[in-house]
């Protein structure tokens, strides 16, 4: 009787273990599905916020106005230009980006001569490589300097910057520009943006999606970027 009871108990324990194992497996599969669902929702949320940040772009500034303002600083000379950049509180962030990128040229270390804004360009694909764009976040097409970045995403590490430190870095690795910038007309800017859109660098920027979802995202971001470039042309009076 004891032996029969022992065998019955062993069988029951084995059945219990199998039931528990099946329940655990089912629980793990359910947990994995929940994790996958949460990851998918998170990715969609990030992508949606990324596009949203890109669409909330800064106002397009006329390339002609920026060029004329830069020429005033070039004619004033490096010391006076630095004083103006570090004391004029009315100079906006994107103007500082332009002046610091354009006024100091012939950099010996392009990796250190880049945008003063630390963050992720919200309107450009993750595969974007700024090494192909030596004046990033601006680019010269024909006679016109265009801004490529409409806004910076909060998914980048956005930090306060010291303009004094940044200028010191520019001076360490580059020389102050002597030649004046061309000041484009609207007609010139329109011709130059068409040349930019047709350029190999611009086309390659959007030619790396791997699947349907990336193609959709790249299409959205390219439309935002193209609109922002067009707005800069329209801003030329």
Q: Report residue 52's pLDDT band, with 50, 70 and 90 as the boundaries.
A: very low
SS3 call for 140:
strand
- What are 105-125's pLDDT values in tens digits? 765 555 444 556 556 788 888
Query: Do residue 164 and residue 148 come from a single domain?
Result: yes
The answer to whether residue 177 scores a pLDDT higher than 80 is: yes
CB 185 within 8 A of CB 236: yes
Q: Report residue 50's pLDDT band, with 50, 70 and 90 as the boundaries.
A: very low
Q: What is the sign of the dihedral through the CA atoms of 196, 198, 200 and 201?
A: positive
In terms of Cα–Cα distance, which of 143, 231, 83 is closest to 91?
A: 83
Query: Do residue 95 and residue 174 come from a single domain?
Result: yes
Q: Report the domain count for the chain.
A: 2
- Domain hosting 21: range is 1-55
* Per-residue model confidence (pLDDT) at position 44: 43
* Per-residue model confidence (pLDDT) at position 79: 95
Query: Do residue 151 and residue 187 come from a single domain?
Result: yes
Query: Do residue 228 and residue 170 come from a single domain?
Result: yes
CB 60 within 8 A of CB 90: no
Is pTM beyond 0.85? Reply is: no
Query: Do residue 106 and residue 216 come from a single domain?
Result: yes
């Amino acid at each position: 009787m004891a032996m029969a009871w022992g065998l019955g108990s062993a069988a029951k324990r084995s059945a219990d273990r199998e039931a528990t194992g099946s329940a655990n497996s089912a629980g793990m599969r359910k947990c994995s599905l929940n994790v996958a669902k949460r990851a998918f929702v998170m990715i969609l949320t990030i992508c949606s916020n990324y596009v949203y940040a890109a669409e909330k772009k800064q106002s397009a500034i006329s390339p002609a106005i920026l060029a004329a303002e830069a020429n005033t600083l070039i004619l004033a000379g490096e010391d006076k230009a630095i004083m103006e950049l570090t004391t004029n509180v009315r100079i906006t962030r994107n103007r500082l980006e332009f002046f610091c990128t354009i006024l100091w040229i012939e950099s010996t270390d392009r990796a250190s001569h880049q945008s003063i804004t630390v963050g992720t360009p919200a309107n450009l694909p993750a595969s974007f490589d700024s090494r192909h764009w030596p004046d990033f976040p601006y680019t010269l097409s024909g006679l016109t300097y265009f801004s490529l970045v409409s806004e910076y995403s909060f998914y980048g590490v956005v930090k306060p910057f010291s303009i004094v430190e940044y200028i010191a870095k520019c001076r360490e690795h580059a020389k102050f520009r002597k030649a004046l910038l061309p000041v484009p007309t609207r007609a010139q800017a329109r011709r130059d943006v068409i040349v930019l859109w047709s350029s190999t660098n611009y086309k390659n920027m959007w030619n790396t999606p791997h699947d349907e979802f990336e193609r959709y995202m790249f299409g959205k971001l390219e439309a935002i970027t193209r609109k922002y470039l067009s707005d800069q042309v329209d801003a030329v009076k």
